[in-house]
Amino acid sequence: MARARDIPGLHAQLSYREAAASTVAVRAQELFDHAEGVLDTSEIERVHDMRVATRRLRAVLEIYEPCFSRKALRDVLVDVKALADALGERRDPDVHLAQLEEFATAVKEADQPGVEVFAERVRAEQGAGNEVLSAALVRIQETDLRGRLGALAASASPEHDPRRSFGLRRPQDRPPEVIS
Amino acid sequence: MKARAVKGLDPDGTLADNLERIVATRLDELCSFVPRVLDPERVKALHDMRIAAKRLRYILEVGAEPCFGPYAATAIKRTKDLQDLLGELHDCDVQLPRVRGLQDELRAADALEARARAGDAPDLDPTLASGTPHAPAWRGLETLCIYVQARRGLLFERFLEMWRELEREGFRARLEYAITERPETPTPLSPSENGDQPSAAIASPAQSDG
């Protein structure tokens, strides 16, 4: 499983809004970086990595909820959740199949036909799950989920709201310069 | 399971202060499943505890290092281990009824077949019930059921041991303490007497992260 990427510039005294902007941007990028090849059932870890990325993204969207407009957040969250569900439709049979294959190699030959009957069913679910996932991937492109996530992340930044910043950053929002 | 609402979040406050509130709530939520989950029959509570562990872990992944004391990083590993183990338990809870469901389905189909073989006979000849179409699958399905059921029992024992170990280690108290600690703010750019290394030390009392 892919390790969560560090969020550059995050520190304890950073404003919650700025942290929201940078964290959501990184987690959204992580999600799309894992999208390649997820429909390939011979490489099941790809789906897993993308699914974990959706969970991490969902988690940060919920963590930073007060920093976003309620409607914009809800629209994005609904789509991220739908994508996570679609990834789950593929991932669950992937895992069960891998376990069954391992089990079948360990048990006696007389046990194998029964395991195979169950595996056949799970394989059909994997195929159906792949179709659900394929449709979900098309949908996130059509609805420009990536662009909406970018806009949502940017909207949390203090500079985004002209009432707050007028192009100036408040001193307490400025990250401290660090001697390198 | 819906996450418990976190009160008092302030978008204009600092990241650390807000995350502290969220972690405190999620940690309390996680621990609230004890003692219910110590009963192996509480399948839903075990599943919900896994979701609570996942929520806690993902927050810590964001905030442990930049915002909190050293034990918060250790807590990521602890919650991940807990989440993984509860996930495997959940897989057994999902898989067992599915295998049994398939057995029921195949048994019903074979019973219909045996009945059809009897035709107009006044009673069913027992030999007609053997050699039904799914007979070769019975043994493997039963073995699979036994395996999943036994594995579930073993994993639950491991879960009990893991939880006891977390309690012995003081997981809750140490994480509650760690989230009140703040790493030292990076040194502002200014002349220094002895060089220019930014401090990575922790301002609050040192605490082992083991």
Query: What confidence tens digit (pLDDT) does each residue in A104-132 have?
Result: 999 999 999 999 999 999 999 999 999 99
Its pTM stands at 0.85
pLDDT tens for A55-110 read 999 999 999 999 999 999 999 999 999 999 999 999 999 999 999 999 999 999 99
Q: Give the Cα separation of A109 and B205 in Å (integer).
A: 61
Quick check: is A168 in a domain?
A: no
Q: What is the Cα B89 distance to its own chain's centre?
A: 8
Quick check: is A151 in a domain?
A: yes
Given B63, B102, B186, which is nearest A121 (Cβ)? B102
Q: Give the Cα separation of B70 and B185 in Å (integer).
A: 15
Quick check: is A7 in a domain?
A: no
3-state secondary structure of B60: helix
Structure tokens at B11: 């978008």
Domain that holds residue A21: 16-162
Q: Give the Cα separation of B132 and B140 in Å (integer).
A: 15
State the total domains in chain A.
1
Measured between beta carbons, the chain A residues lying within 8 angstroms of B61 are 4, 56
Q: Is the peptide bond between B35 and the residue preceding it cis, with omega within 30 degrees of 0?
A: yes
Measured between beta carbons, the chain B residues lying within 8 angstroms of A115 are 140-141, 143-144
- How close A40 comes to chain B (CA, Å)? 23
pLDDT tens for B29-66 read 999 999 999 999 999 999 999 999 999 999 999 999 99
Q: Give the Cα separation of B35 and B27 in Å (integer).
A: 15
Q: Is residue A179's pLDDT more than 90?
A: no
Cα atoms found within 13 Å of the Cα of residue A25, Cβ hemisphere only: 17
Quick check: is A170 in a domain?
A: no
Look at chain B and count its residues: 210
Q: Give the Cα separation of B76 and A158 in Å (integer).
A: 30
- Closest residue in A to B68 (Cα–Cα): A12
CATH code, domain with A106: 1.40.20.10
- How close A63 comes to chain B (CA, Å)? 7
Residue B32 Cα distances to A119, B26, B38, B198, angstroms = 38, 10, 12, 40
Quick check: is A177 in a domain?
A: no
| Domain segments of chain B as ranges | 15-118+127-178
- How close A121 comes to chain B (CA, Å)? 9
A113 close to B (CB below 8 A):
yes
Contact A158, A170 (CB under 8 A): yes
